[in-house]
Amino acid sequence: MPSDSTPQGPRAGRRFGADQGLGAEEIDTARAAASSGTLTINLDAIADNYRLIQSETKAEVSACVKADGYGLGLVPVARTLSDAGCLTFFVATALEGAELRSVLPKATIYVLNGLYEGSETLFEAEDLRPCLSSLEEVRDWASYCGQTGPLPAALHTDTGIHRLGIQAHDLAAVADLAPSFETDLVMSHLACADNADHPLNDEQQKSFDSLRTQLPDAPSSLANTAGILLGSRFHYDLVRPGIGLYGTNPFPNPGHPFHPVVTLTSRIMQVKSIETGAQVGYGATFTAQRPTRIATIASGYADGYFRALSSPDGSGASVTIDGHPAPVIGRVSMDMITVDVTDLPPDVPKRGCFAELIGKSVTVGDLARAAGTVGYEVLTRLGYRYHRTYTSSVGISAD
């Protein structure tokens, strides 16, 4: 009688990989074939977007690579930007900063979320620079530097966004403590830069000019991507683009100068015909008004295709199949969507072929507007289940 540790049944000995005599290339091919979709990230476009921003300003151009490089992969994105000439990077957390430091040992790295009590040692060990946003953080950093010697940090002032930022009534106390460390940047953040006509933009710019005169003399920074596009008076010494690097417009209108970075395709799982009156998907929200062909596609809200893109009548978002638009019908579920392919050529939608969810026909901005959100959320919600491909050649600008 076999021991308890002996594999039994039809799966015994069916390990996938080396035991079957399969090479790494065969396994990779099979994994790609098994994936629900492919997310292609054009690194050349990221580099070209960085150079485009450089051409529009005399300030140093840094790069915001928080949230895993806006969902596109911190390491490949940061390496690409470094190769394009970027020297200064912004992340949200110290742990993101430590990961970035492991691949860019010489970069200047700022941590936007600032300093948590007890984390000072990590900042020193990884050569990270906290963006100090309160008197309490300044006190903690000054105290730590009193033991180690001066270490660099940014001072983040609140000029009107009222999230993080040193308040005006604390500036004198901050200025008294600042000699304990190296203030190498004074910064603030715009609340309404994506609305060029909003009066708060001018108010914040004037407030920043006033507040920074009360702090140690250091390079100044105010503008994100939208702030850069507002004009040179917002640029100061350092600009901090994020969304523009990733090919997306920070403004609500569709037009923008940035090269698209992302293409997202997902597999067609099944094509079927239904009769007039038949209903589709959870909640039976779509009812066919004619004999209808539907294609089921292997992406859902778990993959970053928002449930808000559900459509009871097919008048909302669309995908593209072989160049033909196909409207989303019914409810977006966790793992799949359904689209109407009745008007497509009979031989176009086939099982195993790909539909384009983001690309030339439907941009990140288009998808964001259809879902009632912003491009930032679309990018950072792209799911882990996609097979990710990074492309790089000679750069779009060289074509």
How far the first Cα of the chain sits from its last, in Å, is 69
Q: Position of tokens 């900063």?
A: 97
Tokens of 349: 């939608």
Under a CB-based contact definition with an 8 Å cutoff, are residues 244 and 250 in contact? yes
Q: Which of 66, 110, 246, 376 is catalytic?
A: 66
Hey, what amino acid is at 380?
Answer: T
Is 386 a residue of the active site?
no
Q: Position of tokens 């589709």?
A: 280
d(CA 325, CA 336): 18
| Phi and psi at residue 90, to the nearest 5° | -120, 130
d(CA 61, CA 55): 10
Q: Which of 272, 282, 350, 384 is catalytic?
A: 282
d(CA 19, CA 25): 15
d(CA 103, CA 65): 13
CA distances to 82, 199, 299, 365, 367 from 308, in Å:
37, 32, 14, 15, 10
Helix, strand or coil for residue 178? helix
CA 210 to chain centre: 33
Burial of 117 (0-12, 13-18, 19+ CB in 10 A): exposed
Hey, what amino acid is at 290?
Answer: R
Half-sphere exposure of residue 262, counting CA atoms within 13 Å on the CB side? 34
Helix, strand or coil for residue 154? strand
Is 376 a residue of the active site?
no
Among all residues, which ones are annotated catalytic?
66, 282
